[in-house]
């Protein structure tokens, strides 16, 4: 390999999206984002000197477990892009911003659901979670995990400290591949995002304003953040 | 929406679909960081960080073009900028798998950006940290091929690295990242 060779990565990407009422503009951005997503991400990665071998995308959505019970969450399977882009678009087009009332929301349970995704174990893989919210999050343990979505709820973290350990704290790798895992958070400067953003490994936090959608998280910002995290 | 976007760094107008300025190669949308002060600078740093320009901020903090105030956004810019550079280091572990008394070498290229001033290697065996080594960057050398004299048995070993920047006497480092694992 020469010093100028471009490494190609197999990217598994999970969007964890707050779909409460105030997130309408962001959900519209995500609907735009998934059109031609593989080609656009490839272009941004190329500009960062990285190659995209292939791309799988999954979507997890959340509202408030306290208000809506198990219906607070929805999750797709992984879509292989670009071949299954129409299926991904169909799933994303079905997302509507509603409910949630006031913050906090149940983002941490959704993050756990994303962490337990069926990631691929291939060479040069990257397992990236992109979380988009404009609210703080309920502490874990306040509501029980809905059993139909959280099959392994016995090992599910009961508080943020346990969740950090499950994410991985040097030298323990946690439930994800330590080399592949990445977390990109678009969230306000509020609990628990400031703590996670500053202290979790391989995490990038882009602060937004609470209750106002996800700041200026336009498509380019999201794409660049993903590409830089690879 | 306009079909042209203005690059604040060189004044060139670019097609809105471009990711980087056609002339100066800066990511489109990163605000100008030189010659701005006070609240304007704070806003520019935040905007640059959000739009993927942490490296531009970090390089200016490191060489003094932006004054270091040890704020959380400044620390975040440096950490992210360091982390962004790890993939371009081409880390390589060399050993003879058929030789039990193999000599182990760990090599890497230093990133192009000068903000990484040292690298800490962390040695982990069976999920326990068993040692570490800090290697300072020699600006005359583009790469390092380090003989790991202390590693005489690779089985069960993991190597982590943490890139470090030193600004105004404060060391900022990335979280340790696995560079190679022989753990089964």
Chain B residues contacting A via beta carbons under 8 Å: 19-20, 27-29, 46, 49-52, 72, 76, 80, 83-84, 87-88, 90, 109, 122, 124, 127-129, 158, 160, 175-178, 181
Instruction: Please give the full DSSP string across A164-204, using - where no structure is assigned.
Output: HHHH-BTTB-TTS-TTTEEEEEEEES-TTHHHHHHHSTTEE
Of the ranges A75-89, B152-166, B169-183, the best mean pLDDT one:
A75-89
Query: A203: which strand partners?
Result: A183
- Nearest-angstrom CA–CA distance, A211 and A21: 9
B12-63 pLDDT per residue, tens: 999 988 888 999 999 888 999 999 999 999 999 999 998 889 999 999 999 9
Whether B99 shows a pLDDT value over 90: the answer reads: no
Whether B162 shows a pLDDT value over 80: the answer reads: yes
- Nearest-angstrom CA–CA distance, B36 and B15: 26
- Nearest-angstrom CA–CA distance, A74 and A61: 5
Q: What is the pLDDT of residue B5?
A: 86
Tell me the chain B residues in contact with residue A49 when contact means C-beta distances shorter than 8 Å.
88
A198 part of contact set with chain B, CB < 8 Å:
yes
Query: pLDDT band at A85, cuts 50/70/90?
Result: very high
Quote the percentage of chain A above a pLDDT of 70.
92
A215 part of contact set with chain B, CB < 8 Å:
yes
A134-193 pLDDT per residue, tens: 999 999 988 888 877 776 666 789 999 999 999 998 888 889 998 899 999 999 989 999
A111-151 pLDDT per residue, tens: 999 999 999 988 889 999 999 999 999 999 888 888 777 76
Query: pLDDT band at B183, cuts 50/70/90?
Result: very low
Q: Average pLDDT, stretch A55-65?
A: 96
Judge: A172–B83 Cβ closer than 8 Å, yes or no: no
CA-CA distances (angstroms) from residue A202 to A66, B46, B47, B109, B133?
30, 20, 21, 21, 21
Q: Average pLDDT, stretch B89-106?
A: 79
DSSP three-state, residue B123: strand
Q: What is the pLDDT of residue B80?
A: 93
Strand residues in B69-112 grouped as ranges (E): 92-94, 105-109
Q: Considering the entire predicted model, what is its pTM?
A: 0.89
Nearest to B108 by CA among B60, B160, B157, B54: B160
Contacts of A107 (CB under 8 A, 6+ apart): A16, A18, A62, A131, A133, A135, A137, A138, A187
A20-31 pLDDT per residue, tens: 998 998 899 889
In which residue are the tokens 């990217």 written? A11
Q: What is the DSSP letter of A22?
A: G
Judge: B50–A215 Cβ closer than 8 Å, yes or no: yes
- Nearest-angstrom CA–CA distance, A192 and A105: 11
Query: A80: which strand partners?
Result: A56
Q: What is the pLDDT of residue A1?
A: 42
Mean pLDDT of chain A: 88
Q: Which of A18-27, B150-159, B169-178 has the lowest mean pLDDT?
A: B150-159
Q: What is the pLDDT of residue B119?
A: 97
Domains of chain B: 4-85 (no CATH), 87-181 (2.60.40.1930)
Quote the percentage of chain B above a pLDDT of 70.
92
Judge: B76–A230 Cβ closer than 8 Å, yes or no: no
Q: What is the DSSP letter of B27?
A: B
A134 neighbors A27 (Cβ within 8 angstroms): no
Q: Which residue has the higher pLDDT, A217 or A12?
A: A12
Q: Average pLDDT, stretch B77-85?
A: 94
- Nearest-angstrom CA–CA distance, B120 and A108: 32
Whether B182 shows a pLDDT value over 60: the answer reads: no
Q: What is the pLDDT of residue A118?
A: 95
Q: What is the pLDDT of residue A152?
A: 66
Give the H/E segment covering residue B119.
strand B118-125
Q: What is the pLDDT of residue A153?
A: 60
Q: Average pLDDT, stretch A202-218?
A: 71
Which fold does the domain A8-229 belong to in CATH? Answer: Rossmann fold (3.40.50)
Q: Which value, to the nearest 10 degrees, does the dihedral of the CA atoms of residues B110, B115, B120, B121 take? A: -30
Counting every residue written for chain B, the total comes to: 184
């Amino acid at each position: 390999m020469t010093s100028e060779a471009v490494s190609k990565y197999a990217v598994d990407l999970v969007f964890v999206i707050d779909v409460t009422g105030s997130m309408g503009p962001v959900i519209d951005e995500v609907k735009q984002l998934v059109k031609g997503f593989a080609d656009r991400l490839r272009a941004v990665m190329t500009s960062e000197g990285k190659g995209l071998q292939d791309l799988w995308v999954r979507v997890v959505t959340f509202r408030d477990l306290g208000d809506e019970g198990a219906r607070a969450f929805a999750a797709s399977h992984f879509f292989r892009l670009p071949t299954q882009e129409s299926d991904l678009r169909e799933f994303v087009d079905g997302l509507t911003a509603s409910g949630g009332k006031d913050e906090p929301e149940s983002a941490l349970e959704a993050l756990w659901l994303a962490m337990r995704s069926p990631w691929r174990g291939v060479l040069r893989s990257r397992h990236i979670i992109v979380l988009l919210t404009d609210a703080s999050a309920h502490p874990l343990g306040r509501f029980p995990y809905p059993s139909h979505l959280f099959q392994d709820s016995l090992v599910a973290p009961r508080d943020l400290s346990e969740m950090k350990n499950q994410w991985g704290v040097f030298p323990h790798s946690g439930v994800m591949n330590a080399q592949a895992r990445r977390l990109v958070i678009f969230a306000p400067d509020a609990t628990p995002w400031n703590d996670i953003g500053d202290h979790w490994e391989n995490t990038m936090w882009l602060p937004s304003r609470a209750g106002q959608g996800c700041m200026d998280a336009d498509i380019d910002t999201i794409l660049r953040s993903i590409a830089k995290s690879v | 929406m306009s079909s042209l976007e203005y690059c604040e760094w060189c004044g060139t107008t670019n097609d809105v679909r471009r990711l980087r300025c056609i002339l100066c190669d800066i990511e489109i949308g990163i605000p100008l960081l030189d010659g701005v002060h006070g609240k304007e600078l704070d806003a520019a740093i935040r905007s640059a960080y959000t739009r993927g320009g942490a490296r531009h901020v970090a390089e200016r903090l490191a060489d003094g073009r932006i004054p270091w105030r040890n704020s959380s956004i400044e620390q975040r810019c440096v950490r992210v900028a360091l982390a962004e550079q790890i993939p371009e280091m081409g880390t390589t572990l060399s050993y003879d798998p058929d030789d039990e008394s193999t000599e182990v070498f760990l090599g890497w290229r230093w990133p192009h950006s000068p903000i990484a001033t040292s690298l800490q290697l962390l040695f982990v065996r069976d999920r326990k940290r068993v040692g570490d080594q800090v290697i300072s960057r020699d600006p005359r050398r583009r790469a390092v091929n380090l003989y790991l004299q202390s590693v005489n048995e690779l089985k069960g070993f993991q190597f982590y690295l943490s890139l470090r920047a030193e600004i105004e006497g404060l060391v900022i480092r990335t979280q340790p990242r696995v560079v190679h694992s022989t753990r089964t």
